[in-house]
Amino acid sequence: MKNASDRLFHIFNIFLIVVLLVFFNCSSKTTIRQQQLNPLKYVDPFICTEGDNGQLYPGASYPFGMVQLSPETEGGSHVGYYYEDKYIEGFSHLRIPGAGSRGKGGGLLIKPGIGSFSNEINGFREKYIKASEEASAGYYKTKLESGVIAELTVTPWVGFHKYTFPQEKKKGRYIVIDLSHSYVGMLDARLKVKNEKEITGMIKSLHNGNGGYHQLYFAVVSDTPFKSYTTWEGASIKENQPNCSGNKSGIWINLPEESGNTVKLKVGLSTVNEEQAMVEANSEIKGWDFEDIRNKAALAWDEKLSKIEVKGGSEEFKMLFYTHLYHSYLVPNISSSSNGMYRAAYQPDSIYLTKNTSPDFDYYSTWTTWDDFRKYTLISLLEPQIAKNIARSLVDHYKHRTIIENDANGYWPNPSIRIEFASAVIMDAFIKGLGDIDTEAAFKGMKEDFENYGDENVSAKLEKAYHAYIALEMAKKLGKTDEIKKLTEAADSYKKMWCPQQKDNQGNVRGFFTPDGQTVPDVEEFEKYVYEGNLWHYRWFVLHDITGLAELRGGKDLLADDLEYFFNNNFYMHLNEPDIHYPYLFNVLGKPFLTQKWVREYTTKEVVQLYHNHGFFEEPVKNRIYRTDTKGYIETMDDDGGAMSSWFVMSAMGLFQLDLAKSVYLIGSPIFPEMVLHLDNGNEFRIIEKNVSEDNFYIESAKLNGKEFNQSWIDYKMILDGGVIEFEMSDKSNSEWGRQ
């Protein structure tokens, strides 16, 4: 270099080159990400919203967020919305997606409109223009017959409403907040108009028929001042009275004619108090930029759904996959506030702090674990931190509960249904090393669950044996030798119900679980001996000891033959949970090729279903279980909090965990040419299927990280370590691959 200026010029050129390389590298990565990871375009929230086919909703949600903001139509949906309904009653903020029985939410109903006062839902509901409806992850839009356009988006604790009124209609613009709306029944409510833009209040609502209830506090903040308002308490109607209360109360807000055509509302929710609800409304959404919040909700969903990258395969199956992965993230819901305060289940009068459990603890609620406990094996794979906090929340439930029962009775911070198999969800997180779980409190609760579990019929006794087994496994981990013998006997108690001479209805001696192990006249009779099914549907419900069950039957071959007979005769009932692990049992019984056959059958192919939850269909239903139309599922099949959607996701991946106390995923028949799991530890696990198609669903051979792989299962840790599992697929079965 001749002088200083030359040196500076040289340094500047190097700096410029580095900047350009970084820019183009980042730009390239962004382009690649956009090309490879664009799951949001495959999410259709209208799937499973028509009729009794999924009981899902199209409204705006945030991954595991407290607010689920969706339209309420006039029909009898469990979550407030049927695609075929003509009228919208308003937009409510709580629901349990896919809930069996009436939907356990529906609180805090808000509706914009143009018209005169009514304190009855039937008086202010109105038709909506079906063609105007739009929905995507975190967003919903529709146009009402009055011309008002409603748009909805969310953050974890806030529902954000945007109402656009028609320019030509200035008079009669209103927003109504109805506090009576509840799927099960509103117990109490109140609101207070704090000023011309803010309202706070509380709703206390039943969420089951046995007295279980939830209580939530809300704050409504408007960007437009109220002109005037009318409140009501039952039949008592008062102008500009700022307070009202009771289970038939609400407020009608008149909007000023001189205001703009767009009105926005921020609706904060809290389980703690009204003040915290106001904090959520103003801190979660600091301004009024609706599009910004909508984009942030979409980015949150993109981050979650992009954890599984699908390469190749049909567009239809991608839509099914990402939509059902989206459904898997709807519950449970965060119940602690943004500042870490929460009210625990059964403790309505006490406030707790998450930091007293752990600095990184979030408290979750909204449970339906009888249905969806298997779903948590997907959550623990994709979301280990959330799975850890879910397990901690369930242990917290053990610590604070005053009632030991299955239904979500008493006080709960969010709507809930049932809490069976909580112990299995905790155990799944524990055995996978997610850590920071109070194991002594966990074991105490697991043991209590087992000891207090009912034994009123065959299905309850089989479930009780599994509860004993979960407690047993924790006792072993903790070295509780005094407990192990008793729990071992209890886990084996299922054997006492085995009746080896029991015939099926076709006269074949097969053996069944029966009351006290005695013969019964009809194994196909519904709901006489078991819950929501018949003896066929619980014949293999021994998640912890299929080998022991095979010994009762006389060997794995006989039990596998029975299982094949079960499927060949369409006895399998996919629209309910007790038997959804059955297609995977062939792996344990030495015939993995039959798992590949039957899993693929119920994932993507047309099948026959003889039964609904409570008996036989009038005519057998022949259809695909999973579809991309608005019905989405086969008739009467509920999603049950993500139970059924997560089954599809796991089966499409080819991974299904049978026993939540064993961190082993059974291998099925993945449906895509390639999938990449982007794991939280930074590793990637690739699932490659060569020559896969709707005909080529059998595994001919496999390699794991380049080495021959000949087993029909893979451990959780092996997946987390990253690598590549590669399957060679064929249209012909290989009875030797993976045989144990």
Question: Phi, psi (5° rounding) for residue 425?
Answer: -65, -40
Q: How confident is the model at residue 99, as a pLDDT?
A: 86
pLDDT tens per residue, range 338-347:
999 999 999 9
Q: How confident is the model at residue 740, as a pLDDT?
A: 76
Q: How confident is the model at residue 102, as a pLDDT?
A: 67
Q: How confident is the model at residue 14, as a pLDDT?
A: 40
Contact present, 153 and 138 (Cβ < 8 Å): yes
> For 361-382, b where at least 16 C-beta lie within 10 A, e where not — what string?
bbbbbbbbbbbbbbbbbbbbbb
Q: Provide the percentage of residues in the chain whose pLDDT is more than 70.
A: 95
pLDDT tens per residue, range 259-275:
899 999 999 999 999 99
How far is Cα 162 from Cα 318, in angstroms, rounded to an integer? 31
Residue 408: is its pLDDT beyond 50?
yes
Q: Give the pLDDT band (50/70/90) at residue 244.
A: very high
Q: Give the pLDDT band (50/70/90) at residue 95.
A: very high
Residue of 241, 260, 257, 258 whose CA lies nearest to 249:
241
Q: Give the pLDDT band (50/70/90) at residue 37.
A: low
Residue 24: is its pLDDT beyond 80?
no
Contact present, 633 and 722 (Cβ < 8 Å): no
Is residue 460 helix, strand or coil?
A: helix
The pairing of beta strand 698-704 with beta strand 707-708: antiparallel
Q: Which amino acid is at 306?
A: S
Q: Give the pLDDT band (50/70/90) at residue 76.
A: confident
pLDDT tens per residue, range 680-715:
999 999 999 999 999 999 999 999 999 999 999 999
How far is Cα 519 from Cα 503, in angstroms, rounded to an integer? 8
Is residue 123 helix, strand or coil?
A: helix
Is residue 178 helix, strand or coil?
A: strand
Q: How confident is the model at residue 689, as a pLDDT?
A: 98
Q: Which residue has tokens 């298997």?
A: 374
Q: What is the mean pLDDT of residues 227-256?
A: 97
Distances from the Cα of 496 to the Cαs of 469, 492, 503, 647, in angstroms? 16, 8, 17, 31
Q: How confident is the model at residue 726, as a pLDDT?
A: 98
Q: What is the mean pLDDT of residues 209-236?
A: 96
The pairing of beta strand 512-513 with beta strand 333-334: unpaired
**Residues β-bridged to residue 593:** none
Contact present, 173 and 124 (Cβ < 8 Å): no
Residue of 220, 240, 221, 222 whose CA lies nearest to 230:
240
Q: Give the pLDDT band (50/70/90) at residue 103.
A: confident
Q: How confident is the model at residue 694, as a pLDDT?
A: 97
Contact present, 411 and 347 (Cβ < 8 Å): yes
**Does 60-304 carry CATH code 3.30.830.10?**
no
Question: Phi, psi (5° rounding) for residue 577?
Answer: -80, -30
How far is Cα 540 from Cα 579, in angstroms, rounded to an integer? 8
Q: How confident is the model at residue 75, as a pLDDT?
A: 85
**Residue 170 C-alpha from the chain's centroid:** 42
**Residue 333 C-alpha from the chain's centroid:** 9
> For 665-687, b where at least 16 C-beta lie within 10 A, e where not — what string?
bbbbbbbbbbbbbebeeeeebbb
Residue 335: is its pLDDT beyond 70?
yes
**Which residues, 6 or more positions from 323, have their beta carbon under 8 angstroms from its beta carbon?**
42, 43, 44, 45, 47, 628, 645
Contact present, 511 and 553 (Cβ < 8 Å): yes
**Residue 320 C-alpha from the chain's centroid:** 15
Q: How confident is the model at residue 79, as a pLDDT?
A: 95
Mean pLDDT of the chain: 94
> Bigger pLDDT: 21 or 738?
738
Residue 638: is its pLDDT beyond 70?
yes
pLDDT tens per residue, range 288-317:
999 999 999 999 999 999 999 999 999 999
Residue 473: is its pLDDT beyond 80?
yes
Contact present, 68 and 95 (Cβ < 8 Å): yes
